[in-house]
């Protein structure tokens, strides 16, 4: 399929160009996170970068004695520890909800046995924690409400855990990553309720071994250059391959011309 091959080449080139442009953060934390912690870290990481998520996650762990204290704290208290991470309130509600769900199921905060059960089984089990009906059953209406608002995060967190903890091939897609992929013309309309199929297409184009690096570089790019408002296209190493960037820069140079006429050289 030539279209896929072209997109695949585009993504390979884009990743190489971004690697030259941005310093790559460590792809693994200094000390490996147990599965539950990786899951909670994913909540901080969605829509952010690893550096910003690490900082928020560090504040969270420093502020509270343990996971149980976080579970019984208010959304406001947990959100205060996460700030200035954006959307700290919804993330706090989600973290508390996941801790409640895990505790109710295990009476502990250990998901370690999932790793032993194998990738498919583990991914299935992880998904359960993001299932609203499961949470409602546990009387976690507040958490379910928060989670319901951020359905796309569910798929991101599961994909993140599969990529980082379970040794599988998954490309977590969050808002900034989708924005870059759309601007590059790799994906078109995205149904946030069916993120899994979009993700499947992207995973087909990016080899597993390049997955974590791709995830990191695109997030940094989305924060530094391909911002939601006013992307810095003239400074972007992907401009020559980006239809959106070319359109935006052409429009801007037209706007800069007085009455549409080229500026006189001095």
Residues near ligand SF4, by CB under 6 A: 180, 183-184, 225-226, 231-233, 236, 238-239, 242, 244-245
- Residue 217 CB, shortest distance to ligand SF4, in Å, is 12
- Least distance in Å: CB of 219 to ligand SF4? 13
DSSP class of 33:
P
> How many whole angstroms separate alpha carbon 82 and alpha carbon 89?
9
Minimal distance, residue 2 CB to ligand SF4, in Å: 22
Taking the complex as a whole, the smallest distance from the CB of residue 242 to ligand SF4 amounts, in Å, to 3
**CB nearer to ligand SF4: pick between 139 and 246:** 246
Distance (Å, whole) CA 18 – CA 24: 9
Closest CB to ligand SF4 among 229 and 264? 229
Is the distance from CB of 17 to CB of 238 less than 8 angstroms? yes
Cβ proximity to ligand SF4: between 72 and 250 the closer is 250
Measured from the CB of residue 75, what is the shortest distance to ligand SF4 in angstroms? 34
Nearer to ligand SF4, 93 or 176 (CB): 176
Quote the least distance from Cβ 183 to ligand SF4, whole Å.
4
**44 vs 64: CA distance, rounded Å:** 16
- Closest-approach residue to ligand SF4 (CB): 245
CB atoms within 10 A of CB 206: 18
Nearer to ligand SF4, 13 or 63 (CB): 13
**Nearer Cβ to ligand SF4 (50/244):** 244
DSSP class per residue in 190-243 = --GGGHHHHHHHHHHHS-GGGHHHHHHHHHHHHHHTS-SSS--GGG-TTGGG-H
Q: Within 13 Å, how many C-alpha atoms sit on residue 32's CB side?
A: 7
- The answer to whether 235 and 225 are in contact (CB under 8 A) is yes
């Amino acid at each position: 399929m030539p279209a896929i091959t072209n997109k695949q080449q585009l993504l390979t080139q884009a990743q190489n160009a971004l690697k030259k442009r941005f310093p790559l953060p460590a792809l693994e934390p200094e000390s490996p996170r147990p599965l539950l912690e990786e899951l909670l870290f994913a909540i901080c990481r969605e829509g952010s970068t690893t550096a910003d998520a690490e900082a928020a996650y560090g504040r969270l762990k420093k502020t509270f004695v343990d996971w149980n204290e976080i579970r019984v704290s208010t959304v406001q208290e947990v959100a205060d520890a996460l700030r200035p991470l954006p959307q700290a309130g919804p993330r706090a509600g989600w973290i508390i909800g996941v801790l409640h769900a895990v505790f109710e199921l295990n009476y502990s905060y250990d998901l370690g046995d999932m790793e032993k059960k194998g990738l498919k089984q583990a991914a299935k089990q992880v998904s359960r924690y993001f299932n609203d009906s499961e949470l409602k059953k546990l009387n976690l209406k507040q958490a379910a409400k928060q989670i319901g608002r951020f359905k796309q995060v569910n798929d991101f967190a599961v994909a993140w855990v599969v990529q980082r903890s379970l040794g599988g091939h998954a490309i977590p897609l969050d808002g900034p990553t989708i924005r870059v992929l759309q601007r590059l013309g790799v994906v078109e309309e995205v149904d946030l309720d069916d993120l899994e199929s979009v993700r499947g297409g992207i995973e087909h184009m990016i080899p597993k071994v390049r997955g974590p690096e791709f995830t990191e570089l695109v997030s940094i790019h989305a924060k530094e250059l391909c911002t939601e408002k006013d992307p810095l296209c003239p400074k972007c190493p992907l401009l020559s391959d980006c239809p959106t960037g070319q359109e935006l820069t052409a429009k801007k140079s037209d706007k800069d011309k007085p009455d549409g006429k080229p500026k006189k050289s001095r």
